[in-house]
Amino acid sequence: MRSPSTRRTAGGEPISSEVTDRPITLSQVARRLEDSGSGAVVLFVGRVRPEVQAGRRLTGLDYEADRRMALARLSDLERQARRRFGTRRIHVVHRIGRLRVGTASVIIGVAAAHRSMAFEAARFLIEELKREVPIWKTDRWARGPTGRRRRTRRRPRGARSPG
C-alpha cells in the first residue's frame, strides 16, 4: 500500500513524500525530479547493510511507521529544505515492512539550480528524517529476532505506536 502526499508550495512546485511497503527504485524517484531549470540532481539511497554482532548475522530489518505523522513530518521537512536551500524539486520515499540486507529503505532526490544546494538539501533531509520522522526499525538476525525494537528516530510527542 502506498501513501503519497503531494501538495504545492506557494510558487506551485510539488511537495511529495511517500511511505510504502512496495519496492523503491532510483528511476521512480528520478522521474519525479525532471525539471529543465535544474543544473543538479542528487539522489541518496539508504540500504539495509550487512552487519555481524556477537557472531550473529543481520538478515534484514522490519520497518514500521505512523504513516499519517510520517507523511506530515516529511512534507514539513521538504518545505524547510526548499526555503533553506532554494531547491526546485524534492522527492522522498521510505519503505516499511520486512526488508532484506541490500534492499533500499529510503531514497531522497533533490533537484536544484546548483550542485551545492542539491547536496546540502539531501544531507539535511536524511539527517532530519532519521531524527524526527516516526519510522522505527527492528533488527532480524540469522538466529531469530532480537525481540526488542531499536529506535533510531525519536518518537515525537503525541505519536501513536504503529500497529
- Domains present along the chain, CATH in parentheses: 2-142 (3.90.1170.40)
With a cut of 50, say whether residue 154 has pLDDT above it: no
Which tens digit of pLDDT belongs to each residue from 35-57? 889 999 999 999 999 999 888 89
The pLDDT-based confidence of 101 (bands split at 50, 70, 90) is very high
- In this predicted model, which residue has the larger pLDDT, 57 or 158? 57
Angstrom distance (rounded) from CA 8 to CA 148: 39
- Summarize the confidence of residues 84-107 as an average pLDDT: 97
| Percentage of the residues of the chain whose pLDDT score is greater than 70 | 79
Please give the full DSSP string across 137-156, using - where no structure is assigned.
Answer: EEEEETTEE-SS-B--SPPP
Closest CA to 74 of 36, 19, 116, 123: 19
The pLDDT-based confidence of 3 (bands split at 50, 70, 90) is very low
Residue indicated by cell numbers 518545505: 79
pTM higher than 0.85: no
